[in-house]
Structure 1
Amino acid sequence: MNQPTSKRLRVDLLPQPELTYPDVVLVVDVIRATTTATAFLEAGASAIYTAASLEQARAFKDHDVVIAGEEGGLMPAGFDYGNSPREALEAKVTGKTVVMATTNGTRAAHLAATTAKHVLLASLYNAHAAARLAHELATEEVAILCAGAGGKVALDDTYTAGVLAEFIQLMGLYDLQDGTLIALATRRTYPDPLEPLSLSIAAQSLQRVGLEADVPFCAQIAASPAVPMLEGRVGDALIFRRYQPQRTTASGED
């Protein structure tokens, strides 16, 4: 009897230019970019564009396009929204495109998009839905790419990767890479997600600018079914839309 073939479950704790991805990548910037992108889709945005810079985001602004981002944690001049998931969830963006420009999350997403078959934006907020979709799409590997903070490993992203890895392991047989074991150990160290997120450098930076209320929002696990999935590009920006499963007719045709 043939044994089932296992897939790889990989966690990269930092983006590195030499990294390549043959299959599915979950990009994590839990405080706050990937949480905020999901919240904008929950609020009704038709698409999320991840821009490489604030200047590029400003160039997209139009009557049916809003721009969101951060500079030192705060909303940049001329932008419609900052990078707060609480604000995004209440934003008037139904049917609109939201162009986001953030430092760490944007860089990680662009790296993943260079080689991966599928790129998803993941956070604690949509952890179960993102993990399930990654498992369903993968043929050989699920990779979780942590954005980090300022070029350094981030506790909040590593913990989130551990939560995602736990969910993915429940769905199938996976070979665990070293980074995955580190993320899982971090997850087991902190039963309460608010603790590692609050201890992170990202949370401390938000506290300095009075946005510490975003941290408990980002610490919610599996509160959203929305998963931003890479659909294409426009210029240097990546286009993410909410994943919608294909519907079939009674005859089995799309």
Structure 2
Amino acid sequence: MKLRVDLLPHGSYPDVVLVIDALRATTTAVTYLERGAQALLLTSTPEAALALRGTRDHLLLAGERGGLPIPGFDLGNSPAGANTPVLGGRTVVMNTTNGTGAAHIAAQSGKHVLLAALTNAHAAARRARALVTEGIAIVCAGTEGRVGLEDVYTAGVLAEYLLAMGEFTLDDGARIALTVRRGAGDPGEALAGSDHGLYLTTLGLGEDVRFASGLSTSTVVPTLVRGGDAPEGTLHFVAG
């Protein structure tokens, strides 16, 4: 069985893909579903998200550009700020700078696409192991085309969990992620010390960085649903 880690999204993928944007889209996605959202719709652009407003009842728009909420959206991209009463039974339409785009790339070829973060790392690894027949790719979203320490570190955590469950042939990306995981300290240090973690802290979003550093605090794994009635050009995720 093959296990690969892409430090940035590219190329075609095997049957199972784990998409990571630890700071913060995939962490926020996990939190939304954990706290009562019915489903997530990931769009390719903010304009596509805004176009969905009014087409269905109970939609909430959530997203960011440059770390800050998108004008006209109901929510930003804050896992620490996810509010259970607001989310209960609602469908959340998400668009973010990096994470939702990475999910769209993965969905072009991966049969099973899962959203992973440190907060659901163990559950996501177990789910991927249960689904795999060909191989697993862990895809790091990065930050505006640059590799992000927080995503590579999280990929190393996932790779460790997967190796504990069985044997895999590792590519160089997986070896790099494991090396980073073992050398970058604990999750709090790795995420807070990353370029993007430092940037978010300057915006007053340090609580999100701390929240995203929680290791396996959730068992929710956002899972792509193929087909169904999702609007064209969106990815439909539910709790798996």
TM interval, short-chain normalised: over 0.9
8 Å CA contact retained: 2:36, 2:84: no
Cα offset for 1:141?
0.5
**Unmatched runs of 5 consecutive residues or more in structure 1:** 1-6, 244-254
Aligned pair partner of 1:75 in 69, 75, 83:
69
Q: Relative to structure 1, is the Cα distance of residues 89 and 141 closer, same or farther in structure 2, using a 3 angstrom cutoff?
A: farther
8 Å CA contact retained: 2:9, 2:102: yes
- Deviation per CA, 1:15-71: give whole Å up to 9, x if none: 12xx11121000000000000000000111111011111111111224410000012
Query: In the alignment, does 2:35 pair up with 1:38?
Result: no
Following the alignment from structure 2 to structure 1, what is the Cα–Cα distance between the partners of residues 231 and 194? 33
Cα offset for 1:107?
1.3
Matching residue of 2:40: 48
Bigger Rg, structure 1 or 2: 1
8 Å CA contact retained: 2:14, 2:136: no
8 Å CA contact retained: 2:17, 2:114: yes
- Deviation per CA, 1:180-216: give whole Å up to 9, x if none: 0000000000231111111212112212211111101
Matching residue of 1:215: 209
Equivalent positions of 1:7-18 (< 5 A) are: 7-16=1-10
Q: Secondary structure at the match of 1:27?
A: strand
Q: Secondary structure at the match of 2:86?
A: coil
Q: Secondary structure at the match of 1:142?
A: strand
Following the alignment from structure 1 to structure 2, what is the Cα–Cα distance between the partners of residues 81 and 90? 13
Matching residue of 1:238: 235
When normalised by structure 1's length, the TM-score is 0.90
CA RMSD of aligned residues (A): 1.1
When normalised by structure 2's length, the TM-score is 0.95
Q: Relative to structure 1, is the Cα distance of residues 100 and 174 closer, same or farther in structure 2, using a 3 angstrom cutoff?
A: same
Matching residue of 2:53: 61
Q: Relative to structure 1, is the Cα distance of residues 91 and 212 closer, same or farther in structure 2, using a 3 angstrom cutoff?
A: farther
Q: How many residues matched? A: 235
Following the alignment from structure 1 to structure 2, what is the Cα–Cα distance between the partners of residues 22 and 216? 32
Following the alignment from structure 1 to structure 2, what is the Cα–Cα distance between the partners of residues 145 and 208? 27
8 Å CA contact retained: 1:68, 1:82: yes
With 199-208 and 24-33 compared, the bigger mean Cα shift is at 199-208
Matching residue of 1:114: 108
Q: Secondary structure at the match of 1:165?
A: helix
Q: Secondary structure at the match of 1:126?
A: helix
**Unmatched runs of 5 consecutive residues or more in structure 2:** none
Alignment identity in percent? 51
Q: Secondary structure at the match of 1:217?
A: helix
- Deviation per CA, 1:85-135: give whole Å up to 9, x if none: 011254511111000000211111011100111000000000000000000
Q: Relative to structure 1, is the Cα distance of residues 191 and 76 closer, same or farther in structure 2, using a 3 angstrom cutoff?
A: same
Query: In the alignment, does 2:195 pair up with 1:201?
Result: yes
Matching residue of 1:24: 16
Equivalent positions of 1:80-159 (< 5 A) are: 80-88=74-82, 90=84, 92-159=86-153
Q: Secondary structure at the match of 1:107?
A: helix
